[in-house]
Structure 1
Amino acid sequence: MLPHDLSPWGMFMNADIVVKAVMLGLAFASVITWTVFLAKAVELWITRGRTLAALGRLSEARSLGAAAEELSRLRGPGVTLFNAVQAEFRLAGDASPDGLKERVASRLERGEAATARSMWRGTGILATIGSTAPFVGLFGTVWGIMNSFIGISKAQTTNLAVVAPGIAEALLATAIGLVAAIPAVVIYNLFARTITANRASVGDMSAAILRLVSRELDRNAAPYAKAAE
């Protein structure tokens, strides 16, 4: 008869205090992974829906005034970019069109960068868990096997019934490390692809706003050009 209960819970309860700490830390990391997954998945899904909705409205607008009216009832990064452009128009006054275009492009560029930072926020913990969890689990395994060999030395026997429980407890730490790491890596890669697609949509929104600004400035400049002739 084996001297220990070799169920996962039994092995956890009979493990060394260091191995227990490692297992609990990895279990907590796994909880963090799934919490981030749920929260970030909802956030990215909402962001993408809002961006596409704003892009559809903006594509149909013929002027900045019409676009402002269409986007007034929407939210999201696309609307934030458009509001920044409107703010620049108010600050510019009667500035030259070329200078205004440069400042609008600068605002759009910084707005895209801020949106990208916001979308990536919170995903770094997934990369950290995915890269470190296997090694943390391996540390628990090494510690547990070391204690098993010390126990073998003290018992002065190599009977498998004596050796197996300690080694099984140690290997459980590696298994929990993999359980924590694999989902973290998969979810991080999934978010990376989703964020790339969202950034492309935000870039399309920025380009649409810039085209609308260019048309607006050209329309405003046309009467002055005819008067000069």
Structure 2
Amino acid sequence: MSKTFIAAKPETGKRERAKAANRDAILVAARHVFAELGFEATTVRDIIRGTDLASGTFYNYFKSKEEVFEALARQSVTQFRPRLQDVRKTATSFEDYISGAIRAYFQFLMDSKRTNQADDLHHIPLVGVRVDTPEMQAVFQEIRNDIEDFLARQGAGDVDTEYLTAAAIGVARELGDCMVSRKTGDEGQIIDQVTAFATNMILNGVRDLIKDIKTE
């Protein structure tokens, strides 16, 4: 028995494209406003003012400014994960992984900053963003699994990897936001300096627990 396929109505496709465009417009406006006013001072009204949309339209796509912020954070997570996967493939030790992952994150922030500047946008600090979203939890667990794997290879499997992962992510996020706020300086040199600083901080913090990791 042959099947009959019904093509989607053109109006449906047009409506979906309009909805996607409206959502993107809200996200772009939110990025501007969050960067300019800060998350706490920003209101939904501020975000809508940056679009051509009616005020009530916002709630067709997001429940709150917190949900918009989390959507922006998820975009960053999705874009960063392939870089983390590359680090995992090439790292040969725990030290290599920590240094490589942190450098990849800082390079990602610098690349994003450059792209945002070209689009007249700004970097939004992610410190304080919720970490209990599925995307954030997935990345946390991914990094934790990597850390556990590399530590096990070096015979240091008794370390509390939940604490260690949280500390590593926290250091990277705080220093990364500080790094991109600097107005001048050679990009490569800045990334080298902040990577070394963050890596040494993390490795020195666990040197009494992991005896065979080079910390100098």
Q: Pick the structure with greater CA Rg.
A: 1
TM-score (norm 1): 0.30
TM-score (norm 2): 0.32
User: Structure with the greater relative contact order (CA < 8 A, sep ≥ 6): 1 or 2?
Assistant: 1
